[in-house]
């Protein structure tokens, strides 16, 4: 894996431990309630202790999370990282210096564990000591590393402690410009999925705060929840962007959509706006305009940095456990300084965004969703298990996937050949965007459904079933078979499948197979797949009466064909004028062989576009005959 791939994987791994932090924030917030007045005086102590406990054990959570994330959930690596942290903590606690393991410590041990796991998980020793070989050697190696590193850290403790405190002073000396730069870089790195790398430094490492018991916490986030009156500068300014600016972009996209598409776009982007407002998950909105107007995303990043600078100058301090959404805002408001000012600032900021984006979309004719065919977010509504096989095909099949992970908003893949990844098909299936980072590293933004998609794709890969995947046989709009204006096809008397309304006169093969029949009038063609499915492609309705006029067959019976290969050309205007309808069914005539069907969304498709239909075959002895 290249450097970008390692960074991408590390960025995703850093997110794993943070999923427990909302729990800590809730406990700390609940501890502020008047429990004594309720007759439960000890409840405040219990809840406060529960919240502080998670922050106290953050280094261990990061060690475990990074090790698991960097090794695709290898259990031996996770246990090895925890063992390493126990050894490290034990040694430094036995020293006469007041040392505490930091999140940085956990990250280092997690990364080293992942390296050792990759290097030693298959190591072999002589048979009499092979018990220590393979995965069992990883915890042993990590334990030795942790012991040596702890001894070195004890020696360097005074200098390192002073260095971390000085680093916090240096960052603070940057003032508002430093906060602006952080906000700008954070948004830009969202494009590459590497924003967790920079946020991790500021939120978990920079700046120190000494507690009453003498221990020291580092990082803007832990310091904020520990009651540091100077913490929160690197989090507060994100609230106006995530609670107001991003939802304002969603409203601008809705209001600039075409009237015929506005109902669907409204439903999709209202959900995205609500998600950003409540939870601070922004990628579904940001990726809606990133690829079609990257210059607008740079403006967005600059504005995001500027509002952080503005809140810093006003002395506003606020924090969050997960992201800068309304839920975190309300839960943590009792710890904030001038936090209420973020609401009016956010409203003004949101209005600026709304009018700016409406103007830009209209002035530069930006093809945001709902204006032209392009990247569109789509409703998933429980059909992820049906789309997963289609997404798998659009990625190039299971043979093309070398590594697959998911974070909150995107699939993170390493593929053998990134040229096999079909951008059009993935956008057709609901992806907000596809990012290629080189070296086979690909990110596909599916929003908050990404983890569910990964799980269903894993199931599809593991299932030992016979599946046939279909590409689009032409360019146009995909429609349900029941909408074909012919009772024979609409009633599925010929077979089951889908249909297309073409806007270009070229018919291509949707599958691998053999041409078994070319009708004399050339308006239809039959293909048999290697699995024995008989596929009928019928151009238009009542077109046999044209007796071949307007059609030209490119292949003949007996030819082997592959997806995307040209089969027949036809005169679109002539058939529209002389035929009953241009609707072109693609049906499986021996559909009794099919166990289950999956269809992509019924909307516009490109010729040869992968993943429009998938069928699982019934188990039976024997198979297709291409002879």
Q: In whole numbers, what is the pLDDT of the chain averaged over residues?
A: 84
- DSSP notation for 553-575: ESS-TT-EE-TT-EEEEE-HHHH
Counting Cβ atoms within 10 Å, is residue 294 exposed (0-12), middle (13-18) or buried (19+)? exposed
Rounded mean pLDDT, 133-160: 83
Task: Give the whole-angstrom CA distance, residue 216 versus residue 222.
Answer: 10
Number of C-beta neighbours around residue 600 at 10 A: 27
> Is the pLDDT at 1 greater than 60, yes or no?
no
Model confidence pLDDT, tens digit, residues 606-618? 999 888 998 988 8
Task: Give the whole-angstrom CA distance, residue 138 versus residue 129.
Answer: 15
What pLDDT is attached to residue 96?
A: 64
Q: Are 347 and 48 in contact (CB under 8 A)?
A: no
> Is the pLDDT at 519 greater than 60, yes or no?
yes
33-37, 166-170, 448-452, 473-477: segment of lowest average pLDDT: 166-170
Rounded mean pLDDT, 254-262: 84
> Is the pLDDT at 61 greater than 90, yes or no?
no
Model confidence pLDDT, tens digit, residues 159-191? 766 665 665 566 667 788 889 988 898 888 877
What pLDDT is attached to residue 378?
A: 47
Query: Where do the H-state alpha helices sit in 121-242?
Result: 137-173, 175-190, 195-204, 220-225, 233-236, 238-240
Model confidence pLDDT, tens digit, residues 335-378? 999 999 999 999 999 999 999 999 998 888 887 877 754 444 44
- Residues with a catalytic annotation lie at 407
Task: Give the whole-angstrom CA distance, residue 624 versus residue 486.
Answer: 30
Task: Give the whole-angstrom CA distance, residue 568 versus residue 545.
Answer: 17
CA angle 193, 461, 135 (to 5 degrees): 75
* pTM of this structure: 0.62
Does residue 166 or residue 289 have the better pLDDT? 289
What pLDDT is attached to residue 622?
A: 45
Q: Are 10 and 111 in contact (CB under 8 A)?
A: yes
Task: Give the whole-angstrom CA distance, residue 336 versus residue 67.
Answer: 34
What pLDDT is attached to residue 626?
A: 39
- DSSP notation for 486-533: -HHHHTTSS-EEEEEEESSSEEE-SSSEEEEEE-TTSSEEEEE-TTS-
**DSSP 3-state helix, strand, coil percentages of the chain (rounded to 5)?**
55, 15, 30
> Is the pLDDT at 73 greater than 50, yes or no?
yes
What pLDDT is attached to residue 162?
A: 67
What pLDDT is attached to residue 8?
A: 61
What pLDDT is attached to residue 549?
A: 92
- DSSP notation for 65-113: HHHHHHTTS-HHHHHHHHHHHHHHHHHHHHSSS-----HHHHHHHHHHH
Per-residue burial over 451-482, b if 16 or more Cβ lie within 10 Å, else e, is bebbebbeebeeeeebbbbbbbbbbbebbebe
Task: Give the whole-angstrom CA distance, residue 341 versus residue 325.
Answer: 15
Check residue 482 and report its DSSP letter. Answer: G
Helix, strand or coil for residue 209? Answer: strand
132-141, 356-365, 492-501: segment of lowest average pLDDT: 132-141
What pLDDT is attached to residue 472?
A: 94
Query: Where do the H-state alpha helices sit in 226-293?
Result: 233-236, 238-240, 246-255, 262-279, 283-290
Model confidence at 623, pLDDT cuts 50, 70, 90, reads very low
Model confidence pLDDT, tens digit, residues 552-600? 999 999 999 999 999 999 999 999 888 899 999 999 999 999 988 888 8
What pLDDT is attached to residue 410?
A: 80
Question: Within a 13 Å sphere around the CA of 425, how many CA atoms are in the beta-carbon half?
Answer: 26
Rounded mean pLDDT, 187-215: 76
> Is the pLDDT at 239 greater than 90, yes or no?
yes
What pLDDT is attached to residue 118?
A: 84
Check residue 499 and report its DSSP letter. Answer: E
- Using a pLDDT cut of 70, give the percent of the chain over it: 88
Model confidence at 44, pLDDT cuts 50, 70, 90, reads confident
20-34, 169-183, 257-271, 470-484: segment of lowest average pLDDT: 20-34
What pLDDT is attached to residue 168?
A: 59
């Amino acid at each position: 894996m290249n450097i970008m791939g390692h960074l991408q994987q590390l960025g995703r791994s850093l997110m794993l431990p943070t999923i427990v932090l909302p729990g800590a924030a809730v406990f700390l917030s609940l501890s502020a309630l008047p429990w004594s007045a309720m007759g439960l005086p000890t409840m405040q102590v219990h809840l406060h202790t529960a919240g502080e406990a998670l922050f106290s054990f953050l280094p261990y959570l990061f060690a475990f999370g990074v090790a698991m994330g960097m090794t695709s959930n290898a259990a031996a690596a996770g246990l090895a990282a925890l063992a390493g942290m126990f050894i490290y903590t034990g040694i430094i606690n036995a020293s006469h210096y007041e040392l505490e393991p930091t999140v940085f410590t956990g990250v280092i041990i997690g990364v080293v564990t992942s390296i050792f796991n990759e290097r030693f998980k298959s190591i072999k020793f002589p048979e009499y000591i092979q018990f220590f070989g393979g995965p069992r050697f990883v915890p042993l190696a990590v334990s030795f590393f942790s012991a040596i590193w702890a001894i070195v850290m004890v020696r360097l403790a005074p200098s390192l402690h002073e260095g971390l405190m000085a680093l916090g002073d240096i960052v603070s000396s940057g003032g508002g410009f430093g906060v602006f730069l952080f906000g700008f870089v954070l948004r830009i790195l969202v494009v590459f999925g590497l924003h967790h790398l920079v946020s991790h430094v500021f939120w978990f490492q920079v700046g120190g705060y000494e507690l009453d018991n003498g221990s020291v916490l580092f990082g803007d986030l832990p310091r904020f929840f520990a009651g540091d009156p100077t913490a929160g500068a690197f989090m507060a300014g994100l609230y106006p962007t995530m609670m107001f600016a991003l939802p304002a972009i969603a409203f601008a996209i809705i209001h600039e959509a075409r009237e015929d598409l506005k109902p669907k776009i409204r439903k999709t982007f209202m959900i995205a706006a609500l998600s950003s407002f409540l939870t601070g998950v922004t990628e579904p909105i940001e990726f809606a305009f990133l690829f079609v107007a990257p210059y607008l995303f740079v403006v967005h990043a600059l504005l995001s940095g500027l509002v952080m600078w503005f809140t810093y100058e006003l002395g506003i301090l606020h924090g969050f456990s997960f992201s800068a959404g309304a839920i975190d805002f309300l839960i943590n408001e009792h710890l904030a300084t001038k936090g209420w000012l973020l609401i009016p600032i956010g409203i003004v900021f949101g209005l600026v965004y709304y009018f700016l984006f409406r103007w830009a979309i209209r002035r530069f004719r930006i093809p945001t969703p709902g204006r032209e065919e392009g990247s569109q977010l789509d409703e998933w509504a429980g059909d992820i298990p049906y789309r997963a096989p289609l997404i798998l095909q659009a990625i190039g099949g299971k043979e093309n996937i070398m590594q697959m992970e998911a974070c909150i908003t995107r699939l993170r893949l390493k593929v053998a050949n990134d040229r096999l990844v079909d951008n059009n098909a993935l956008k057709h299936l609901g992806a907000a965007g596809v990012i290629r980072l080189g070296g086979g590293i690909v990110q596909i933004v599916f929003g908050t459904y990404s983890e569910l998609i990964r799980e269903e794709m894993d199931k599809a890969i593991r299932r030992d079933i016979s599946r046939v995947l279909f590409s689009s046989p032409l360019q146009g709009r995909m429609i349900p078979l029941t909408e074909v204006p012919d009772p024979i096809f609409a009633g599925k008397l010929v077979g089951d499948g889908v249909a297309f309304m073409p806007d270009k006169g070229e018919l291509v093969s949707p599958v691998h197979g053999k041409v078994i029949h070319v009708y004399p009038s050339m308006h239809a063609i039959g293909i048999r797949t290697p699995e024995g499915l008989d596929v009928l492609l019928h151009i238009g309705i009542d077109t046999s009466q044209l007796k071949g006029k307007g059609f030209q067959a490119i292949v003949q019976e007996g030819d082997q064909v592959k997806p995307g290969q040209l089969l027949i050309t036809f005169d679109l205007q002539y058939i529209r004028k002389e035929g009953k309808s241009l609707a072109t069914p693609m049906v499986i005539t021996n559909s009794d062989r099919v166990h289950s069907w999956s269809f992509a969304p019924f909307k516009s498709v490109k010729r040869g576009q992968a993943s429009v239909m998938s069928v699982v075959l019934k188990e039976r002895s024997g198979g297709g005959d291409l002879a």
